[in-house]
Amino acid sequence: MKLTELKAIQLAELFSSLSDASRIRIIALLIGGEMSVRAIADGLGMTESAVSHQLRGLRHMHLVRARKSGRQVFYTLDDDHVSRLFTLGLDHVQHG
Amino acid sequence: MKLTELKAIQLAELFSSLSDASRIRIIALLIGGEMSVRAIADGLGMTESAVSHQLRGLRHMHLVRARKSGRQVFYTLDDDHVSRLFTLGLDHVQHG
DNA sequence: TGAATATATGAGCAATTGTTCATATATTAT
DNA sequence: ATAATATATGAACAATTGCTCATATATTCA
């Protein structure tokens, strides 16, 4: 398949955002619906700082979207590509 | 979604194997069909050593499969999950 | 056998990554 | 106003990554 170097880099960056167990667990949580940073941190036993750092990367790659409400920020998956990549990857792992 | 830590790690490892532009370009080439290490190296302007190192990781994650013929080794994508992940990722990037 | 070819592998190094800790910003409550 | 809460951010550090270079293994050819 023909692929410009730019697209190759963008694809690699997309998959990079899914290449860490903490981020995978964040996304797995968000498949269940919108959550605040603290709720994610509590749910995963991570510090809010670590979660916030990871969410920034995910936001930057348009994998999650933020909605601010008062002093909380609620995150959701940005579009259905994300959960489809997730479940397709899970398929591969489970048939490995 | 509920996800064991093991599955999270395995998923992260799977996406890690797709998280580098050189590997993405190797996979893009292999979507066109079976190729030798040298052909891949020539096609991408990489050294055979660098390609071989990358192929080892891809082989380990069952993304590519090797077939030895004489002194050459021909690589193909291991199963259709790979090209489906690839094209799904490309979709996301192109709608970004 | 020895030389040439194709691939694989280990060591080493620069660059990147994910975390912690401290601090900053923003919002709400008193 | 001050304090408390929720999140974001920068610096710094250990751990990981992808390459090069040298070398090893395997196969073919003369």
Report the CATH number of the B5-94 domain. 1.10.10.10
Instruction: Give me the B residues in range 49-68 that sit within 7 A (CB) of strand D.
Output: 49-50, 53-54, 57, 68
Domain map of chain A by residue range?
7-94
Gyration radius of chain A over CA positions: 14
Report the CATH number of the A7-94 domain. 1.10.10.10
Q: Enumerate residues 63 to 92 of chain B having a beta carbon within 8 A of any beta carbon in chain A.
A: 79, 81-82, 84-86, 88-92
Supply φ then ψ for residue A71, to 5 degrees. Answer: -100, 5
Neighbouring CB atoms inside 10 A of B37's CB total 17
Place of tokens 């990037």: B93
Identify the sign of the CA torsion B20, B25, B31, B35.
negative
pLDDT digits (tens, 9 = 90+) for A17-76: 999 999 999 999 999 999 999 999 999 999 999 999 999 999 999 999 999 999 999 999
pLDDT digits (tens, 9 = 90+) for B27-58: 999 999 999 999 999 999 999 999 999 999 99
* Residue B17, nucleotide of least CA–C1' distance: D17
